[in-house]
Amino acid sequence: MVSALVTLTVVAAIAWLVWVSLDVASRADTARSVGIAALVVLPIWLVMVIYYAPIEQVQGVVQKIFYVHTPAILPTYLGFILTAVGGIGFLRTRREGWDQLAIAGCEVGVVFCSLMLLVGPIWAKPVWGQWWVWDLRLTSTLILWFIYVAYLMLRGLAFGSDTAKTFSAIYGIAGTAAIPFVYFAVDLAQGSTMHPSNPAREGLPPEMGRTAGVGLIAFLLVFAWLVARRLQLAALEAKAQAARGGDVA
């Protein structure tokens, strides 16, 4: 039930964000209802984390960090996939909205990837006894973060240039090749990684699975709301840039 809702939220979020990106000026205000939905689901998730999810026997209460660490994974991947979707759309149509979708997806994806990299060590220190280990999952996630931070730096340095947009689109599409590598890093390491395997395959107890699922939905709603707002900002920046260009001319 919860996993079906998560899938539905993912599909709906992508479809809605693509729809908004095609006419940001008149559609961005629909983000308000997504923001309200996030504000409803977030407290439910927090109550489930505190009162519903059982305390894990081996790790104790520290295991509850799992509920805030793992929900950040899906928005990270989705943000970077949106960068590729926006890049493909831009290369095919040269429409500004697709390029703005690519930037918005990337920036919000980097925020969630940063959260994963910040929260993971807070769990690792009490459980592993160290903040960080250079194993395949952690290192590949850090490389993924660098790939997309480099994308944002590229965009920041060359705002508005058509060549930069084309190059960024190709870079954003190529960057997604790193996602399956990060996702399957634990399998590729063949037992030599300290990072736990992907939760979907661990067969969590129902209470833990439901809590993690509601967390995923909450984070997806926050993600969608942030991307829509970032799209709105990108559209306003483009308008301001055009006005400045007009003044100069």
Partner 1 sequence: MSWVIAAFAVTGVVLVAYAVRLRMRIAELRSADRQRS
Sites of contact with partner 1 (CB under 8 A): 61-62, 64-65, 68-69, 72, 111, 114-115, 118-119, 122-123, 125-126, 222, 226, 229-230, 232-233, 236-237, 239-240, 243
First-last CA distance in the chain: 58
- Of 102 and 169, the one with the shorter C-beta distance to partner 1 is 102
Residues 6+ apart with CB under 8 A from 132: 121, 124, 138
- Of 169 and 227, the one with the shorter C-beta distance to partner 1 is 227
Closest CA relative to residue 10, chosen from 106, 100, 81? 81
Least distance (Å) from partner 1 to the CB of residue 25? Answer: 11
Least distance (Å) from partner 1 to the CB of residue 187? Answer: 26
Least distance (Å) from partner 1 to the CB of residue 177? Answer: 27
- Of 99 and 107, the one with the shorter C-beta distance to partner 1 is 107
- Of 118 and 200, the one with the shorter C-beta distance to partner 1 is 118
* Number of Cβ atoms within 10 Å of the Cβ of 105: 30
Distance CA 69, CA 117 (A): 9
Concatenating the DSSP letter of every residue in 76-112 gives HHHHHHHHHHHHHHHHHH--HHHHHHHHHHHHHHHHH
Residues 6+ apart with CB under 8 A from 166: 90, 91
Here the tokens at position 153 are: 């730096």
Distance CA 93, CA 20 (A): 16
Least distance (Å) from partner 1 to the CB of residue 64? Answer: 5
Least distance (Å) from partner 1 to the CB of residue 122? Answer: 4
**In contact, 62 and 127? CB cutoff 8 Å:** yes
β-bridge mates for residue 60, sequence order: 56
Least distance (Å) from partner 1 to the CB of residue 8? Answer: 23
